[in-house]
Amino acid sequence: MVVAVMVTGILSGVGGTVLSLLLHMIQHLAYGYGQPGGPHTFEQGVSAAAPWRRIAALCGAGLVAGVGWWALGRFGRPLVGIGAAVGKTELGRPMPPLSTVVHLLLQIVTVALGSPLGREVAPRELGAVMATGTGRMLGLVPADRRIIIACGAGAGLSAVYNVPLGGALFILEVLLGTMGQRAVLCAIGASAIGACVPWAVLGNVHQYAIGTMALTAPVMLWALCAGPIVGVVAHGVKRMMAVVQSRAAKGVSRIGWCLVVFPLLGVLTCFYPQLPGNGRGPMQLALSDQMGVQTAAVVLALKLVVIMGAMRAGAAGGLLTPSLAMGALLSTVLAGVWNLFLPPVAMGTVALLGGIAFLGTFMSMPLTAIALGIEFTQMEHDLWVPVLLVSAGALLGMRVCARLDGQPAPMLRPSTLGSMSARS
């Protein structure tokens, strides 16, 4: 088991590194940036690109998504999601290696070209597939193979985002649903190794740059008041996306939907370059207080529309970074209204708080979301208090809405997005 954890962490780290390099290479080629002295982030590259180039990139994404996933469904073996492979209490169905690799490569290519979905599912699936082979080769018993597959997925997440604690908690909170000693030891070991391996190529960096964020009384009060609102909105968005996902295009119709949705996103990108990609760009703008309230409201609405459009068209991807960005944009809007009548709060600070709370509520993984927020930004210790308060309020708001609905909140399928708990 020790050997399996080490091998799984290393393979997941290497796989995450390769996928990250592939993503960046396609982004630079598609939008023509990355040269010395020029734009160096995706959002800046899209903003600097000519309108025709933005539309061409998204048309390419639609073609790759439609034809690629249609062909995979037509000629490949049926896909098995990470949640189904891990199983609830015992080892589930095996993931078909070739079909899964094609599936995750399609995700990386389409996200690099501008799909509004996230990239984090691909490295998790790659890590899980390699861990499946590792467990089989080492002759692990089914219970240990289940742990190793989950560790492969979490280590893949750690590798692409440099989040060892977040990856470990994702394994335990979302995939395994246990804090048993054996699972904890394996999760921590695999996630730590997976996060360290990419340092040699990608560097030991965190995802978002934030300035000094002070803990003030207005920020604490905002966290208490805004938390339930964030939870209510997250619950509503989750229900809408579950409905859209249940009607996702299949078969040949997927090609037609993708060839309509993605070019339309390309046209919108000519006016709002913050829309393409997984949402890291608008998240960074919100954290840096570089996005006005009106712009944040418009981008939030359009971001929601294009994400649901991509899901309706049958595209696959994650919702981790997109939901983080939606929460930050929502909090920017709420803070703008707050500052009109009450003691003002720093927009970047509350954007971070709201983004974490929205992510934890929307994805049904509050502990993992808090850890991810801390590791994404390296926030100061003082901010942990309002982060916990706003996250608790958001969970409360979501639970109240679920009870008023009279039924459990609908689930987004782990097999497609790989980001939701089977128990949500």
Cα–Cα separations (whole angstroms), residue 168 to 118, 189, 222: 20, 8, 30
* Between 422 and 22, residue with greater pLDDT: 22
Phi, psi of 33 (to 5 degrees): -135, 175
Lowest mean pLDDT among 42-46, 102-106, 257-261, 305-309: 42-46
Instruction: Tell me which amino acid residue 55 is.
Output: I
Alpha-carbon torsion (275, 279, 281, 286), positive or negative: positive
Residue 5 confidence (pLDDT) above 90? yes
* Between 192 and 92, residue with greater pLDDT: 192
Share of the chain above pLDDT 70, in %: 94
The pLDDT tens digits of the residues spanning 225-258 come to 999 999 999 999 999 999 998 899 988 999 999 9
Q: Report the pLDDT value the prediction gives residue 421, as an integer from 0 to 100.
A: 36
Average pLDDT over the chain reads 90
Report yes or no on whether pTM surpasses 0.85: yes
Kindly report the CATH number that applies to the domain delimited by 217-417: 1.10.3080.10
Kindly report the CATH number that applies to the domain delimited by 2-202: 1.10.3080.10
Residue 422 confidence (pLDDT) above 50? no
Lowest mean pLDDT among 156-170, 223-237, 309-323, 401-415: 401-415
Q: Report the pLDDT value the prediction gives residue 12, as an integer from 0 to 100.
A: 96
- Rounded Cα distance between 361 and 358, Å, is 5
Burial zone of 121 (CB within 10 Å; 0-12 exposed, 13-18 middle, 19+ buried) = buried
The pLDDT tens digits of the residues spanning 374-390 come to 999 988 888 999 999 99
- Rounded Cα distance between 163 and 20, Å, is 15
Q: Per-domain residue ranges for the chain?
A: 2-202, 217-417
Q: Report the pLDDT value the prediction gives residue 43, as an integer from 0 to 100.
A: 86
The pLDDT tens digits of the residues spanning 95-116 come to 999 999 999 999 999 999 999 9
